[in-house]
Amino acid sequence: MFYWNEQSIRWYKEAAEYGCFHEQIVKVAAPYINCDCTACDLGCGLGYLSLELAKIAKQVTAIDIDDNALNVLRASISQNGTSNIEVMREDVQLIPSQAIWDVVVLCSFGRLTENNNFTKYMALCKKRLISIVGSNAKSNISPSGLSHYEKDHVPKLISFLEKQGIPYRLIEQNLEFGQPLSTQQDAIDFICHYTPGCTVETAAEHAKEHLKQLGDGRYCLPNQKCYGIFIIDKQEETT
């Protein structure tokens, strides 16, 4: 399980505020979330997606188990004057399996293909489930291509849904979620943090090869990747 600390929060905040990843995701998903919808951002983390969802949905519930992350979101809500986000600290596995929200959104969270999670999360929505995953399992920021955190990806989720006979729509988008970094050492620390078994020497070589310098004196580790936005409508039960 991923836990947020001061360092990982700083990195993610800088990445989210540098680019427009979350804004672009919600722009693609907007036709499936209208102004009368209630939406839930499961595993919301720092809540950048929740803040974008709140611009188009009637009400958003942002759920995570990590207090450090939720405190960042609460501060953002206060700063932005957002009035239609409810923050909930909860283990998503403990949420009662009943249709509470019109739309449930998962962004690189939930592993729908494992542990009966698909059935669990689908039961929480009245209209549809939206899952955002990477095109493959490869991590662009890692020298090895591996990440500490195993996630679903497009081929894996397609295979799962088709084996289950579950209809879906898939929208694929090339999106940039680059990581700004204050110094080259910051870049090395970042790469080591997110790469299993990475040595400082390997991280330094990767940084040397891939880092770009920004106009403000910072650096950036580019991270353009294709993402899949799966739209899975709730199927009417038949007797």
Residue-level pLDDT at 237: 57
Two structure tokens written together for 16: 């989210």
6-233 belongs to CATH 3.40.50.300: no
Q: Give residue 181's pLDDT band: very low, low, confident or very high (50, 70, 90).
A: very high
Residue of 194, 182, 218, 189 whose CA lies nearest to 204: 189
Residue-level pLDDT at 147: 60
87: which strand partners? 62
Helix (H, G, I), strand (E, B) or coil at 190: helix
Residues 6+ positions from 32 with CB-CB distance below 8 Å: 103, 128, 130, 231
Residue-level pLDDT at 168: 97
Burial of 209 (0-12, 13-18, 19+ CB in 10 A): exposed
Q: How confident is the model over 200-207, as a mean pLDDT?
A: 94
Q: What are phi and psi of 99, to 5 degrees?
A: -70, 100
105: which strand partners? 41, 130
Q: Give residue 149's pLDDT band: very low, low, confident or very high (50, 70, 90).
A: low
Helix (H, G, I), strand (E, B) or coil at 19: coil
Q: How confident is the model over 115-133, as a mean pLDDT?
A: 94
Strand 219-221 to strand 212-213: parallel, antiparallel, or no bridges (unpaired)? antiparallel
The owner of tokens 């088709």 is 162
Top-confidence residue, 2 or 57:
57
132: which strand partners? 107, 229
Q: Give residue 47's pLDDT band: very low, low, confident or very high (50, 70, 90).
A: very high
Q: Give residue 239's pLDDT band: very low, low, confident or very high (50, 70, 90).
A: very low
Tell me the C-alpha distance between 46 and 43, whole Å.
9
Q: How confident is the model over 184-211, as a mean pLDDT?
A: 92
**Is the per-residue pLDDT at 138 higher than 80?**
no
Residue-level pLDDT at 141: 77
First to last CA, the chain: 39
Q: Give residue 91's pLDDT band: very low, low, confident or very high (50, 70, 90).
A: very high
Top-confidence residue, 152 or 168:
168
- Are residues 106 and 112 in contact, defined by beta-carbon separation less than 8 angstroms? yes
Q: How confident is the model over 83-100, as a mean pLDDT?
A: 92
Residue-level pLDDT at 238: 40
Q: How confident is the model over 46-63, as a mean pLDDT?
A: 97
Report how far Cα 200 is from the mean position of its chain's Cα atoms.
Answer: 27
Q: Mean pLDDT of all residues in the chain?
A: 91
The owner of tokens 């672009």 is 24
Query: Residue 133 corresponds to which amino acid?
Result: V
